[in-house]
């Protein structure tokens, strides 16, 4: 639980194709923190209209799990925006802040999550992240970004990933979630990639299959040693205000204390 808001910290975001209502229903009970109904890449062109209609039916009622929709085109927004089951829009292929301005003005108050998928978007990362109060988070669309940059392996994405983390922090947004890991069978590779993402400052990850969810959650939960260290920091901060040194010589200040509280909030999930 978040100490500030009392709401669970999302670590898992599960995509489900909008033209397969049975799969969406399974996603809703999968244990994912957020379900993303996909109207874009996961849906064939001749199935787009059906996917939109099925998603309108789905969101006619609220669900216990937050449901986001990754739109295919801004024309998807008007029939979905007023529905009680909608928790936010994932907006693909955003390259400029003006892309967000137009949507935020059309549907005020609905949380927006821009996806940055090419080099130009990455150059505008902070402008996009801070474009409007409706923006609640940003993420990379790594498949398209890899193609745009000609990147061949994970290391080539370290700088774009770090750029996104910095832009989110600068815009006072939550740490971004990692993009999907496309191999649903290689869970060891997923775990290793999550560990790398966590080291870069990400929090949680999008998934394309329920079997990936526990791997992602475990990778992002703090270890017992991390929890013990965080408890020591918070206890010391509660006993004495301002900067101070722990018995082992470690110096802590307000930023360190905030980080320790985030660790304990994540640990509470377990």
Residue 72 per-residue DSSP state: S
62: alpha, beta or left? (left if phi > 0; alpha if psi -120 to 50): beta
Average pLDDT over residues 163-181: 97
187-200 and 158-170 helices cross at what angle (nearest 10)?
50
Angstrom distance (rounded) from CA 31 to CA 128: 30
Average pLDDT over residues 4-11: 62
Residue bearing the bigger pLDDT, 14 or 243: 14
Q: 12-17 and 205-207 as β-strands: parallel, antiparallel, unpaired?
A: parallel
Global model pTM greater than 0.85: yes
At 90, give phi and psi (nearest 5°).
Answer: -95, 125
pLDDT at 1 over 50: no
pLDDT at 28 over 60: yes
Angstrom distance (rounded) from CA 241 to CA 268: 25
Q: Are 260 and 225 in contact (CB under 8 A)?
A: no
pLDDT at 148: 96
3-state secondary structure 16-46: EECCCHHHHHHHHCCCCCEEEEECCCCCCHH
């Amino acid at each position: 639980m978040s100490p500030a808001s009392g709401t669970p910290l999302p670590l898992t975001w599960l995509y489900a194709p909008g033209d397969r209502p049975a799969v969406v229903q399974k996603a809703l009970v999968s244990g994912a923190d957020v379900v993303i109904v996909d109207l874009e890449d996961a849906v064939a062109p001749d199935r787009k209209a059906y996917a939109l209609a099925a998603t309108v039916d789905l969101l006619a009622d609220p669900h216990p799990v937050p449901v986001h929709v990754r739109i295919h085109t801004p024309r998807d927004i008007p029939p979905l925006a007023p529905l009680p089951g909608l928790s936010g829009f994932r907006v693909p292929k955003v390259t400029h802040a003006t892309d967000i301005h137009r949507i935020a003005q059309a549907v005020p108050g609905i949380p927006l999550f821009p996806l940055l998928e090419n080099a130009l978007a990455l150059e505008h990362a902070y402008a996009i992240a801070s474009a409007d109060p409706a923006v609640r988070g940003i993420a990379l669309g790594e498949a398209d970004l890899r193609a745009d940059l000609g990147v061949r392996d994970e290391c080539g994405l370290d700088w774009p990933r770090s750029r996104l983390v910095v832009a989110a922090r600068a815009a006072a947004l939550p740490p971004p979630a990692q993009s999907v890991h496309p191999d649903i069978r290689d869970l060891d590779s997923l775990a290793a990639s999550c560990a790398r993402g966590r080291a870069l400052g990400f929090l949680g990850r999008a998934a394309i299959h329920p079997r990936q969810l526990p791997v992602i959650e475990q990778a992002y939960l703090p270890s017992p040693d991390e929890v013990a260290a965080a408890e020591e920091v918070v206890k010391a901060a509660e006993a004495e205000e301002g900067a101070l040194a722990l018995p082992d010589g470690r110096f802590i200040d307000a930023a360190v204390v905030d980080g320790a509280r985030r660790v304990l909030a994540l640990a509470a999930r377990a």
